[in-house]
């Protein structure tokens, strides 16, 4: 569980990973988030072999941020295939990639309206801003072996 502003808890994502197949191997994208601004501990979070990672204040989130500017279900990172995507889940304060708002709700009261496109592909070196937290995004291509370990070694060289 989290305590204090900006604390994070790394948990398990949901779904089965799916990517490009090569003779029993599945190409996946591992996402490494490194906190560069805010009060998140630990400073580096790695999501490997998980298709979707939910970020927000809710206890069900894989990355739980105890930050009042973060919505209960703020955004979702989909990293199960060959690419990684971030989807804003109609958060009040929005989700930002490299300073560009990708979603959220603008205004207050009756003037609230979705900001438009809420999905964006993540690239190595991007900065993801959720609430008062900023993360550097590092993407690593990995292979998942559907067979035995000996088969994996045959394809490694």
Whole-model pTM?
Answer: 0.70
Q: Note the pLDDT of residue 90.
A: 92
Please give the Cα distance from 49 to 18 (Å, whole number).
9
> What is the 8-class DSSP label of residue 149?
H
Phi, psi of 42 (to 5 degrees): -70, 165
Q: Note the pLDDT of residue 38.
A: 86
- The answer to whether the CB of 84 falls within 8 A of the CB of 31 is yes
HSE toward the beta carbon, residue 145, CA cutoff 13 A = 10
User: What confidence tens digit (pLDDT) does each residue in 78-102 have?
Assistant: 987 778 999 999 999 999 999 999 9
Q: Compare 54 and 142 and report the one with higher pLDDT.
A: 54
Q: What is the mean pLDDT of residues 103-107?
A: 70
User: What confidence tens digit (pLDDT) does each residue in 124-147 have?
Assistant: 999 999 999 999 999 988 776 554
Residue with tokens 């070694």: 153
The pair of structure tokens assigned to 37 is 């601004």
Q: What is the CA radius of gyration of the chain?
A: 17
Please give the Cα distance from 96 to 27 (Å, whole number).
27
pLDDT of 45 above 90: no
Identify the three-state secondary structure at position 70: coil
Contacts of 71 (CB under 8 A, 6+ apart): 56, 57, 89, 90, 91, 92, 93
């Amino acid at each position: 569980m989290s305590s204090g502003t900006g604390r994070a808890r790394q948990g398990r994502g949901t779904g089965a990973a799916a990517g490009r197949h090569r003779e029993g191997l599945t190409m996946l994208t591992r996402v490494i988030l490194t906190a560069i601004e805010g009060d998140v501990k630990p400073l580096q979070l790695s999501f490997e072999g998980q298709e979707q990672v939910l970020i927000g204040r809710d206890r069900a989130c894989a990355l739980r941020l105890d930050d009042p500017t973060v919505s209960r279900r703020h955004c979702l990172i989909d990293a199960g295939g060959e690419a990684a995507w971030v989807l804003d889940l109609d958060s009040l304060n929005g989700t930002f990639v490299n300073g560009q708002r990708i979603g959220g709700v603008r205004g207050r009261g009756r003037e609230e309206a979705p900001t438009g496109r809420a999905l964006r592909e993540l690239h190595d070196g991007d900065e993801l801003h959720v609430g008062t937290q900023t993360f550097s995004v590092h993407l690593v291509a990995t292979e998942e072996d559907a067979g035995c370990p000996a088969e994996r070694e045959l394809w490694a060289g």
